[in-house]
Amino acid sequence: MEVGKIVKLEIEGYDMNGLGVAKLDGIVIFVSKALKDEVVLARITNVHKKYAFAEATKIILPSVDRILSPCSYSTGCGGCDLLHMKYNVECQVKEAKVIHAFHQINKDNSILFNPIIKNKNIFGYRNKIMLPFGYDEDDNVIYGFYEKLSHHIISIDKCEISNPYVNEVVEFIRRYVSVFHIQVYNEEKHQGIFRGIMVRNNYKNEMMVVLITTKAYDFSNLLTYFESDFPLVKSVYMNINPNKTNVMLSNDYIHIYKEKTLIEDILGIQFNVSAGSFMQVNHDACEKLYLEALRMANLTKEMNVIDAYCGMGSITLSIAKRVKHVYGIEIVEDAILNANQNKKLNNITNATFICGPCEEEIKKLVNVEQIDCIFFDPPRKGCEQEFLDTVIEMKIPKIIYISCNIATAIRDINYLTKSNYKVLEVTPCDIFSKTSHIETICQLSLRDETKHIPK
Ligand SMILES: C[S@@+](CC[C@H](N)C(=O)[O-])C[C@H]1O[C@@H](n2cnc3c(N)ncnc32)[C@H](O)[C@@H]1O
């Protein structure tokens, strides 16, 4: 079997990421864009000793679970890998992925797996998009997503999972850059001005646009078009990134139009969102995620709580309403600035925000307060072991672990269960529909024999 060969395959099931699984000549083949029970022609894309990868190129016998993709770019763009699958099957694949991930920890079958929390809108849900600009072979200005494992831009004119109003603004900016001959950045030659854009929107479809350039540029003419034609654009920044890299954003933001922040409403709490703030990419699913985490925590007015990796404080301030005191810890200074503004904006007085790495800052709380519950929502790389060791030492009775990366979450949860914690329940939440990513919420509690004695 060699790369490029076309083979006929019968798809027997799914792997953890929704790839079809088939067998040929004794080796397992993981087939993208293929569904269980289908017969397909597939092109081999990667060969290992005991397994290979392939991409379905022709569906000979389609499954009843196949749907027509509304996206015209799904062949090139590596963004959404489950566009061809009915939503209920996508949810089943995601539930199975989470249960499988916990199988080592759940040897005694004691964990309660709740059904996946489904997404209301499986298209148009993304509230943040980042798009590099470039030129095609005919020197037309294009934008899109990088092809998998490459710096080649797949040109698009809209993204189906992105907000439709954002799609309109992005397309307008492309026309503007083209008509006014703003030189688009070429990474190889390290030449040009316009690198691309980042746009985020709030629950009212109001938008913040970040124009990414290699040097300061006069966009005043573009802003007059926003004023006349795009009233939903409420804030514009220029981000200046002169570096030779395909990392698009630098830390150098210049505010150039109207508001400095967007106002987002999450569970009735108002948030000032700045250009660099972390915010969950799907507003409705984010509210469901937080509500599920709050349900698991079963908070009361007597409790002191920590919200580790708190970002701009969106979980922290939802917790504040329900407890005696909450401490939010976050490493990014701007996010903590935002969090403190948000606290004021909502007249919340029982939240304290601490800026610094969780692994260090949590130690300062060890002898200050008896903590009854801790929420973790770490970045994809998970928690530092030093942080987990302090949590274990503090004997915090309840942990609510929220994660967008099941692999690192399992690593950390495993570490906690090898000490004095056990997993009670797990809920998958579909935030990133049409992609194989999954958000998970897990409740852990201290084993009885080690429970802390309240002061
Ligand atoms: C997945 S986000 C969660 C944000 C927030 N809980 C929310 O739902 O909007 C992870 C956050 O952890 C922060 N972070 C990353 N490493 C950190 C560390 N070592 N200590 C504290 N915060 C960290 C990031 O800046 C980011 O805001």
Q: Where does 214-261 show beta strands of DSSP type E? A: 233-240, 253-258
In a domain, 77, yes or no: no
Note whether 261 and 145 are same-domain residues.
Answer: yes
The dihedral built from the CA positions of residue 358, 361, 366 and 368, taken in this order, carries a sign that is negative
Which of 243, 349, 413 lies closest to 340 in space, CA to CA?
Answer: 349
Check which CATH number belongs to the domain holding 412 and give it: 3.40.50.150
Kindly report whether the global pTM for this prediction surpasses the value 0.85: yes
Torsion, Cα of 248, 252, 258, 260 (10° steps): 100
How many domains does the chain fold into? 3
In a domain, 270, yes or no: no
In a domain, 87, yes or no: no
Q: What does each of the 455 residues of the chain score in pLDDT, given as a tens digit? A: 899 999 999 999 999 999 999 999 889 999 999 999 999 999 999 999 899 999 999 999 999 999 998 888 877 777 899 999 999 999 999 999 999 999 999 999 999 999 999 999 999 999 999 999 999 999 999 999 988 777 889 999 999 999 999 999 999 999 999 999 999 999 889 999 999 999 999 999 999 999 999 999 999 999 999 999 999 999 999 999 999 887 899 999 999 999 999 999 999 999 999 888 888 999 999 999 999 999 999 999 999 999 999 999 999 999 999 999 999 999 999 889 999 999 999 999 999 999 999 999 999 999 877 999 999 999 999 999 999 999 999 999 999 999 999 999 999 999 999 999 999 999 999 999 999 999 999 999 998 755 544 44
Note whether 350 and 226 are same-domain residues.
Answer: no
Check which CATH number belongs to the domain holding 37 and give it: 2.40.50.140
Whether the CB-CB separation of 225 and 257 falls below 8 Å is answered with no
Smallest CA separation from ligand 1 atom 15, residue: 379
Q: How far apart are CA 142 and CA 134, in angstroms?
A: 5
Q: How far apart are CA 6 and CA 1, in angstroms?
A: 10
Note whether 214 and 232 are same-domain residues.
Answer: yes
Burial class (CB in 10 A: 0-12, 13-18, 19+), 127: buried
Check which CATH number belongs to the domain holding 192 and give it: 2.40.50.1070
Whether the CB-CB separation of 47 and 69 falls below 8 Å is answered with no
Q: How far apart are CA 298 and CA 294, in angstroms?
A: 6
> Which atom in ligand 1 lies closest to the alpha carbon of residue 307?
6
Smallest CA separation from ligand 1 atom 11, residue: 309
* DSSP 8-state assignment for residue 363: G
In a domain, 272, yes or no: no
C-alpha distance from residue 85 to each of 33, 40, 66, 69 (Å): 8, 15, 5, 9
Helix (H) or strand (E) holding 54: strand 51-61
Whether the CB-CB separation of 184 and 135 falls below 8 Å is answered with yes
Note whether 316 and 185 are same-domain residues.
Answer: no
Smallest CA separation from ligand 1 atom 20, residue: 357
- Residue range(s) defining the domain that contains residue 387: 92-120+282-450
Catalytic residue list: 404
In a domain, 392, yes or no: yes
Instruction: Ligand 1 pocket test: pick from 251, 272, 294, 309 the residue with the most ligand atoms within 8 Å of its Cβ.
Output: 309
Note whether 241 and 322 are same-domain residues.
Answer: no
